[in-house]
Each structure stands twice: as C-alpha cells, then as structure tokens.
A and B are shown apart, each in its own frame.
Chain A
Amino acid sequence: MKRDFYVLLFTAVLISVMGIINIYSITHLSSSHWMRQIVWLVISVVAAAILFHIDYLRVYNRRWILYFFTILLLLIVDVMGMEGGGARRWLRLGSWNFQPSELAKLSVIIIISSFIDQKWRPEGWNTADLIKMFLLVCVPAGLVLVQPDLGTAGILIIIGLLLMVISGMRLKTILYIFLFFLITLPVMWQFMLDYQKARIIGFLNPYSDPLGKGYHILQSIIAIGSGGIEGKGFGRGTQSALRFLPSRHTDFAFSVWCEERGLIGAVFLLGLYAFLIFMILRISFYAKRRFGSFLVIGIAIMFMVEIIINLFMISGMFPVVGVPLPFFSYGGSSLLISFMGIGLACSVIWDRITGRFV
C-alpha cells in the first residue's frame, strides 16, 4: 500500500529529472534555469513526503482557511503582482517567484471535494447546490482570468465541472450546462483580450500571421516533426538551439524533447504519464470517505487536463493558452503544486493501511 506512494513519487521524479535534462539541453548555454529547477524539485519532493504523512482530514478541516488564503493571494497578485509576458501572475519571494494560480487548483479541488462529501445526494445534484459549487470555482477562476491567464482559469472550471459530473449530475443538467457554454462562448469572445483572441485566431489558421501567434505553433510542429522516430540527440535540437521556439523551456518544453528524443522519447514519456494517472486514480478506491476519493479524482483530473491541453497545444490541435506540462516544464510553482498533489492524493492511502472507518 505504502509502496504506491513510492512508485508514484518515483515516477514523478523520473519525469521531472527528464524535464530538467531537457531544460539543461535548451538553456544551459544562456541561463541556469536547470539549477533552479533542481532546487525546486528537492523542495517539492520534501513537500510531497510531508503531505503524504499528514492525515488528509486535517487538510479537510482547514479547507476554508486554505480557500480564502488562496483568494487573498490571487487578489494580491491581481493588484500588485509581477508582470511577465503581459500578465500579472507571480508573487515575488526573495529571488524566487510563486504563482498563486497554481495553488488555486489544489484549493478548488479540496473545497469542491469537501462540498461533495457533505452535500452529496443519491438522486443527483439539485440546482442550488450546483450553483453553489459553481460559485466556489468561479471566484478563484475569475481572479485568475483577470491576470490574465486564460489557461489556468479554464483548467479550474474544467476540474470543477468534471468533479460535479462524476459525483452525480443528471443528464439533463449536463445538457443545460453544455448549452449554456455554447451560448456564452460568443459573449466571452467579446471580453477576451486582444492577445488571447490573436492566439485563438492563430490556432484556427496558423498561417494567418506566421510572424505572430501562429509562429509558435508552426515552430513547435517543426520541432516535433523534425525529431523523427529516434530524435536528433541531446543538445541537437536545432530549432531550440537557434531559438526559434519561444517559451521553449516552459510551455513548449515537450516539443524540444520530441525533437531531441524523437517518437521513442515521446512515447516513453506518454507512457509514464498514463501510468501516473492510472496509479493516482487507483488510490480513489482506497478511500473510506467520499472526500478522500474525490480529492484523489480531482488531483488526477488536474493532471489529465494539463497533460492533454499542453500536448494538444504543442502539436497544433489546441490554441496556445499557456498551460505547462506538469512535472516536465520549467516552473517552480507548477512543480511544487504537482508534487503536493501527489503527496495529498497518496495520503488517502492511509485509509486503507490503517483500515480507518469514518
């Protein structure tokens, strides 16, 4: 049982180490990103171990504190955060930056899981509860959206919605929500910022502006495709070495991996991710309480959505929305929160080990 935690931790560390090698290959000539990422990895592993050993019900008891703390951080970022790429996303802590929108993912998962735990009813959600849950998701999602960070805000909404669906939503309600989104989509378009619109247009027609937003996608596809089956080898990513790929160590890190390691490397990593998700989802069966199982499912959904969106994005099947690949992309906050997710999910294993019955 406890072995599950070590297997998961090992898998995550393995992906992270490959990520660091990848970051090293891309940026070692110009910066020490890779060293920072190692420091973050050590911190993250420790954090995961601590969370694993903490009884997750203690988290459950402090959920509101965590939730409002997150909202406070998001407000601070919105008001006085650091600018980066035209958006305010970071909080500065000494020489390290932290992205509260990453923390928001965990907070939303915890608050929704506990809501499900308390209010669950066998016949499915009623409208009032759905609206309450939706509001719980929308407050942090809205604060993230105005940073502006379309990708993370979208992920928060998707996590919330999927948790609601799995915990028992009536078919009719699902249809209504679907219709609602269909109708609000054009309205949302009106409120989007120019650069966000440009990205979506660039995605729909990458050739519309090859020097602008479509450029990212085209360059990323060239990087992936040119890797072939075996890849060009370590440090040989010509696309990256020549710096044609922007955000090559963050959102597009996997493109470079594909270029240097080819299809073999890509499949290996995809396999690791699938294994990781499988292992996490399995833990949901160990829980003795709904909170535990939905907490685990929520964390799994978080990873799934991030992985799918990122990979779709870099291979030109989804607009560039700025979602990092968990464990793999450069970025301390993302790494820390991902490992904390692993630790939190694994702490549910204790239900099975101790045979606790709540």
Chain B
Amino acid sequence: MLYHPHNPQHPAFQRKVHLLFVIFSVFMGIILLRFVYLQVIQYERWWRLSERNRIRNETLYPERGHIYDRNGQIIGDNRPSFDLYIIPDECKEKCLFALQRLSFLLGINYPFLESSYREWLKTHTPFEPFLIKKDIPYDSLIKVEVERLFIPGIYISQIPVRRYKDDFAFSHLVGHLGEISESELKTLKGKYALGDIIGKTGIESVAENFLKGEKGWEQIEVDAFGRKVDLLNVKHPVRGSGVYLTVDMRLQEFAHSLLEGKSGTIIAMNPKNGEVLAYAVNPSFRASDFVRGIEKRKWHKYISDENAPLFNRGSFALYPPGSTIKPFFAIAALEEGLINPNSTVNCPGFMWIGNRKFRCWKKEGHGRVSLIDAIAASCDVYFYRLALLLGKERITKYLSLFGFGKETGMVLEERKGLIPALEKDYTAGEIANVGIGQGSILVTPVQLLRAYAAIVNGGYLVKPRFIMRISEKDGAELDPPLMEKLPVKDNTLEIVKKALFEVVNGKMGTARWLRSATLEMGGKTGTAQVVRLEKYKFYREENLPEKYRDHALFVGFSPFNDPEIIVIAIIEHGGYGSTGAAPLVKKVIEKYYELKK
C-alpha cells in the first residue's frame, strides 16, 4: 500500500504534485510578465490615460442628409457648429475666472452666467460639461482658441448643423427643425436622445427617417486643457440619405421673389404627374433660426407676428375660391346634361333670388352669354343660375369628385377645406353664392391647383408630389405617385379647357391683357371677397384699407395642348385676380420656359 504510485509518499505521486506546481508557476510567470509589460513598458501610456478622467466618450452626431432640388442643386446641407463648455473638475478653483474671461470674449452678461453656473452645480457632478454658449460665431471661436492655454477646463464640441442655401424661399416646403420634445422622445423610443434635433414640419419631418443618419461615438484622450491628445477608438457617424425634391430651385426662388412684400402662395406643378415645381409661400420664416432648436425669444416673436410667418399658406390656408370655382360648375352641368354649350343666358348685371338682388361683378351686365363666354368673362349671373339648376346634391358630388373638401394625400400636412354638406339645408341664395365660390366653400391652394390640373390633363386627379428621389432610391417609397381617372367625359373637359383658354385669349376674357402668342396660356381668374365692414361697402377696391381688400386668385396653365405646367397664385388682399395674381402666374410660366431652354 505504502509504495503504491498513488501513495502520498511515492515518488511518482510527488513528481505529479511538483509538476502541478511548475505549471502554476509558469502561469504566475506569464502574469508577472504581463504586469511588467503593462506597468513598466507601457507605463507612460496608461499613466496618461489614468490622469483625471482623461478618456472622454463623445457622441459623434451625423450630418443630416442633404436636400436637393430636382436638378441636384443643394437646398439644405450642413455646416459645423461650435458649442463652448467648461468642465468644473478641470478648471477647479479657476472656474470663475474662466467664466469671467469667456463671458468677456463672447459678450455674455457675466453675473447672469455666474448665477446660472452656480445653479447648475447643485444638480450636476463636476465631471459634466457646463454649457456656456451654443453655436458660437466663428470670430468668437478664434478669440477663445487664442486664449485657450490660459483658460483651463474649456471644452468645445463641434457638431454638424443644417444650413439652408436660401433662408426664406424654401422654409414652408422644407419645414423647420427643432429639439425633440418629450412626447416625441416617448413615441420614438430608443432612436433619439434628449436634445437631439429632429424635423418638425415639412420635408424635414416627412423624410426624417432618411435624413437623420446614424450617430457614432469616439473615445478620445484629452489633456488638462481639454484638448484632444489621442484618438483611442472611433465609430464614425453616417450621414443621412440625400433627398431630392421635385421642385426646381430657380423657379421656386423666382416665385418667392414675386411674393416679396405680399402675403400669399405661388405653387407650380406638372399637371401630368403631380410633381410640384415650385412651392412659394410668403410671409416666410428664417429656417436657420430653427436648426439648433429655436430660442424662446425668437419663437415668441414668430407666433405673435400678425402676418403669421409660420403659417403654411399653401396647404393650410383656406380661401374662398371665388370665380375660380366656376369651371367645376360648368363641368357638373355639362355632365348632367343640364345645359348645352351653345345655349345662352342673358346677364342684365343682376338677378333676383327670392327678394334679394344678386349682382354680377359687371354692373352693366354681360348681355347674352354662352357657357364659354360665361367662363371667359366670369359672368356671375350665369353661375348663380347653374348653381340653382344643379342643386346641393349635385354640387357636392362634383366638388368632391374634384377633390374639394378632402385631403389631397400629399406628404405635407394639409387641411380638408369645406364644401356644402349634404345633411345641411341651404337657402337658394346660399346655393347661388357657392356658384361663384363664396360662402360655404373653402379651398386650399393645393386643392384648387390639382382640381385644375384634372381639367387640363384629361381628367386625372393627381396627388401633388414633392419627393422625387432619396439618394439613389426612387422617392416613391415616401411619396408614391397617385392618380385617379375621374368619370367625366373627355368632351366636357375639352369644352371647359377651351373656355379657360378664352379667359386669357378671348375678346371678353378677364385676363385678356396677358395674352401671348408664344405662351398659349389658359387659366381662370378669381377674386375672393373678404368680409368687410358696412362702412366700406361702397368703396372702390383700390381705396380700401389693405386688410379689407379682396384676395386675388389665378390658376394658369401652358401650353394649351398637353399642358406641362400649371400654376396657382393666391395673393391675400391682392385685389382682382386678373391684376393681383394673373401677372405673377404669367411670369412664373415665362420663367419656366426660360429655365427649360
């Protein structure tokens, strides 16, 4: 038993135990070498890193995807923005000195800065950076850089922020950015962090998922002055996808310039496919005010401005269409077989409905007018009659057929508008009024534009499109084209389209002075009455105070055969459609052809 190889006293057993200890010693030797390697050979490196929180983990913000026009011109790209912080743990007892110096360099009120700093200290650890100023201008940045060695604890972050090529012209189309709200943070759980910038309205909001890109991070080593010494590790952020809009930058800027000093909208669209070529809205806001989240002061200025610069008049404003609604009544009556295009109606300048006298805009009357003349001359009496002839049900049916009173389905936020409701009762006078686009009918500019597009493109109700491509992908993913063939006879549309041509080119046309042989333009004027006080009742339009003047409307298209552009202009308080709006439309169409060359 005793000399068994596994008896503890047996040499074979003892050899095994010795071997076990040798193996253990080898491992300990490896550990020892590793420690020598770390603590002697690599000492400098690790010592540097261990010095007071010298490794910083930073989020790297991605560039927001660029926004381009249909030709690849940049509408919105990015610029670097610098934020200035100090880190209390790094400036220690010199923090107040640093604050004082920085407030001097940046022109900030020092007592205010100091008190907010003290307040901040109560709820934060000294390792967190305290924000002194967001987005400091470049010249201030240089001043700070010059003195950086003497001011401890400075930390400057650099992030890309949105830059717009034109601060005003695209604001309502592209929309604005803003700091993510708490409710957005909740619904978009996990994708964003507090303080992130997100698209709030317009294309920035619609294409947010494509534009936002992917965040990265870097682990950097910094010295006591917060300067980067070494990059330890990095994951680069990924820029968001580029979004190509259907608009033509030059046409949009031109249209916007036409609105200078006016309130209103000019929208141009290709009637064949709904691609919006220009979407100008004025008054507009400075889009760059929003790129890092808007300051409270500026926000209040915007929302208290009585011109409502944040209001997207193109899709959100509701206007009485005025005479621009007349062609749709003509279509309804033709389709229902109530009128013959050649039969005439006498317009003495007024018409009795019940015991009220309904006037035509032309006091002396138009005399005997056919359908085409009635549209061209915009005879009110003719359309009072048509409206009464059609009645509420048929009016509602045809108006809603052409997309009034409901959304167009476009990507921008919009309102439905208003058409006579089936369940409500209307007096004959109210119905007659709808015939000239007043009263129980309100439309958005986009609605009206696409209803006209349906007349001139052969009866297709198209969805206005804004996004053409996303990087290399088809924009259909976000903004699919939509087209609906209306159950309206081609002949009917031809007649009305001819009438629209007469508006500009006919002898009686309300916009006949815009006639141009080369443009082959057609269209329709509209003058929407604004509710006005009794005392202004008999004033001439030109003498009215501006806010009581009528809205001027015009929808124009070109060329007559197979139109490729259709433009709406609505100028608030612009007076008559023929003088306030129609010339603008003509200019836009001219510009379109000029750019096409």
Contact = CB atoms under 8 A, between A and B. Distances in A.
A224 interface: yes
B31 A225 contact: no
A168 interface: yes
Contacts of A44: none
Contacts of A224: 35, 38-39, 46
Interface string B182-196: 000000000000000
Chain A contact-residue range equals: 35 or more
A226 interface: yes
B53 A244 contact: yes
A304 B17 contact: no
A258 B7 contact: no
A341 interface: no
A259 B6 contact: no
A70 interface: no
Given A167-B6, A225-B42, A239 B50 contact: yes
Contacts, number: 123
B538 interface: no
B52 interface: yes
A162 B23 CA distance: 12
A226 B50 contact: yes
Contact of B40 (A122, A263, A308): A263
Given A263-B40, A285-B17, A315-B34, A226 B49 contact: yes
Given A226-B50, A285-B14, A311 B31 contact: yes
Most A-side CB within 10 Å, residue of B13, B42, B45: B13
Interface residues of B, number: 42
A293 B17 CA distance: 10
A221 B8 contact: no
Given A229-B40, A244-B53, A222 B6 contact: no
B21 interface: yes
Contacts of A263: 35-36, 39-40
A324 B469 CA distance: 58
B97 interface: no
B8 A286 contact: yes
A304 B43 CA distance: 28
Interface in B182-230: 217, 219
B73 interface: no
A166 B20 contact: yes
B27 A225 contact: no
A270 B28 contact: yes
A286 B28 CA distance: 26
Nearest to A227: B39
26 contacts: A120-B6, A166-B20, A207-B233, A210-B232, A221-B46, A225-B39, A225-B42, A225-B45, A225-B46, A226-B47, A226-B49, A228-B40, A244-B53, A270-B32, A274-B24, A277-B21, A281-B21, A286-B8, A289-B8, A290-B6, A293-B13, A297-B20, A300-B20, A308-B27, A308-B28, A315-B35
Interface of A: 120, 122, 162, 166-168, 207, 210-211, 221-229, 238-239, 242, 244, 258-259, 262-263, 266-267, 270, 273-274, 277-278, 281, 284-290, 292-293, 297, 300-301, 304, 307-308, 311-312, 315, 317
Interface of B: 4-9, 13-14, 16-17, 20-21, 24-25, 27-28, 30-32, 34-36, 38-40, 42-43, 45-47, 49-53, 55, 57, 127, 217, 219, 232-233
Give the top 5 A-B pairs by smallest Cβ distance, nearest first.
A225-B46, A226-B50, A225-B38, A293-B8, A226-B47
